[in-house]
Amino acid sequence: MNDENPPLASQKQPISFDLKMQILLFTVIRTVFSTANRVIYPYLSYFARGMGVTIGDISLALTARSMVGVISPFISSLADRYSKRVGMLVGVGLFTIGNGAIWLWPVFPVFVAGMSAAFLGVFVFVASTQAFIGDEVQYGQRGTMIAIVEMNWSLAFVAGVPLVGLLIAAKGWMAPFPLFTLLGAASLATVWKLIPGGKPSAYQPLGLKQNLGTIFHSRSAIAALVVAIAITAANEVVNVMFGVWLEDSYKLQIAALGAASIVIGISELCGEGLTAFFADRIGKKRMVMISLILNLLVALCMPWIANGVAGALIGLFLFYITFETMMVSSLPIMTEILPSARATLMGFIIGAFSLGRAIGAIFAPLLYTYGFRMNTFATILLNLVALYGLTHIQVQPEGQKTTS
């Protein structure tokens, strides 16, 4: 497996104050988005009871939400053709509209449609911001910058999800959606004001058709899509059911489930910190491979680790820290596979993440009927697929010859 050479300190360029503030803005907005996305999982049964539907119905709603990601590349391509800010504004707008619809019409069909629109908006925003970072930050420092933004996942679980859980406990299942709508509107105004319009990219802007041809003629791009699908499906077969598993096995109530969310959030924060510190130093692909193998081993040992509440939380901590390290370390690699079509390819990557989540959400409840061990066994198999795909990804770091 070829890997990029760790950059020399003398090659690094200082990050401007404006760019640091933009990175901070992306992190804050993504934390709001991630809270909205992740709050469904630990409180799955509460949303189901609130709308008078089954857990299976909510699982199908999550599948529908994930499946909209397959169209995100076609919207994300706007960022390549016009500017990254255009893509960001479209993404935040969809998030705001989707949550506003659920606020105004809190019934299950609107819940599915609104959640799907909001999720699509998140995908477009993520692809646009990652492409923006790819344009503005040299490859040797990109692992650190992307890891900082990706701390939004852990911040959502450490702070956002437990706080929203308290809101749900006090006001009911639909209480978060007015909050998400207002925060989305504030984010829209902030992006409009603080992110420059700019030009599409430093490369010759291509149409969607040309970008698609470039992507699907690249072995590295296709391998990256396989890796994205496999690692997210591997995570989702555990992610969808962990709240139900904890409730079924240990009779945990909503406050305890919120505490479990904090444990997972801390683990992800540690994973993002490891990525920020090590990925640019030891090589991003090497970092992905190490964390992927460790995640596989944790899944293998999970049934024996989780022999009580404490053991279950330790197992989840190890599972999420290794997954988060793997996921975040892979993102800077993917931004450098096809620099001329960054936003479009990242849209496809996000769509692949979405497809992986959809696959995981479909099969997670079915696997769980045979016990949680079947969920962890599926994770092991999918991680092996990802490990194989990783060996076929090659990038062209700055100043090096193309190898893909």
Determine the Cα–Cα distance for residues 255 and 390; give it in Å rounded to an integer.
39
Determine the Cα–Cα distance for residues 376 and 237; give it in Å rounded to an integer.
8
**Residues found in the chain:** 404
Q: What is the pLDDT of residue 148?
A: 92
Determine the Cα–Cα distance for residues 21 and 61; give it in Å rounded to an integer.
36
Determine the Cα–Cα distance for residues 89 and 192; give it in Å rounded to an integer.
7
Q: Is the pLDDT of residue 90 over 90?
A: yes
Rg of the chain over all Cα atoms, to the nearest angstrom:
20
Q: Is the pLDDT of residue 251 over 70?
A: no
Paired tokens of 25 = 């803005």
Q: Is the pLDDT of residue 204 over 70?
A: no
Q: Is the pLDDT of residue 211 over 60?
A: yes
Q: What is the pLDDT of residue 255?
A: 58
Q: What is the pLDDT of residue 6?
A: 43
Q: What is the pLDDT of residue 188?
A: 96
Q: What is the pLDDT of residue 399?
A: 41
Q: Are 87 and 76 in contact (CB under 8 A)?
A: yes
**Bigger pLDDT: 120 or 211?**
120
25-53 confidence digits (pLDDT tens):
999 999 999 999 888 877 888 888 889 88
Domains of the chain: 16-390 (1.20.1250.20)
Q: Is the pLDDT of residue 8 over 60?
A: no
Q: Is the pLDDT of residue 10 over 60?
A: no
Paired tokens of 52 = 């008078």
Q: Is the pLDDT of residue 258 over 70?
A: no
Determine the Cα–Cα distance for residues 251 and 383; give it in Å rounded to an integer.
30
Determine the Cα–Cα distance for residues 322 and 320; give it in Å rounded to an integer.
5
The mean-pLDDT minimum among 41-45, 208-212, 295-299 falls in 208-212
Q: What is the pLDDT of residue 35?
A: 94
Residues in Cβ contact with 276 at an 8 Å cutoff, skipping those fewer than 6 apart: 143, 144, 147, 148
Determine the Cα–Cα distance for residues 218 and 404; give it in Å rounded to an integer.
7
Q: What angle do CA 203, 92, 364 make, to 5 degrees?
A: 100
**Bigger pLDDT: 360 or 250?**
360
58-86 confidence digits (pLDDT tens):
888 887 887 787 787 788 877 777 788 99
Determine the Cα–Cα distance for residues 196 and 129; give it in Å rounded to an integer.
12
**Bigger pLDDT: 206 or 172?**
172
Determine the Cα–Cα distance for residues 230 and 222; give it in Å rounded to an integer.
13
Paired tokens of 400 = 């090096």
Identify the CA nearest to 125 among candidates 216, 215, 31.
Answer: 31
Q: What is the pLDDT of residue 351?
A: 81
Q: What is the pLDDT of residue 274?
A: 92
Max intra-chain CA distance, the chain? 61
Residues in Cβ contact with 277 at an 8 Å cutoff, skipping those fewer than 6 apart: 144
Q: Are 135 and 210 in contact (CB under 8 A)?
A: no
129-169 confidence digits (pLDDT tens):
998 998 888 888 898 999 999 888 778 877 888 899 899 88
Q: In the chain, what are the helix, strand and coil shares in percent, each to the nearest 5? A: 80, 0, 20
Query: 126 — phi, psi (to 5°)?
Result: -65, -50
pLDDT band at 259 (very low <50, low <70, confident <90, very high): low
pTM of model > 0.75: yes
Q: Are 173 and 47 in contact (CB under 8 A)?
A: yes
Determine the Cα–Cα distance for residues 26 and 191; give it in Å rounded to an integer.
9
Alpha carbon 398 to chain centroid, angstroms: 26
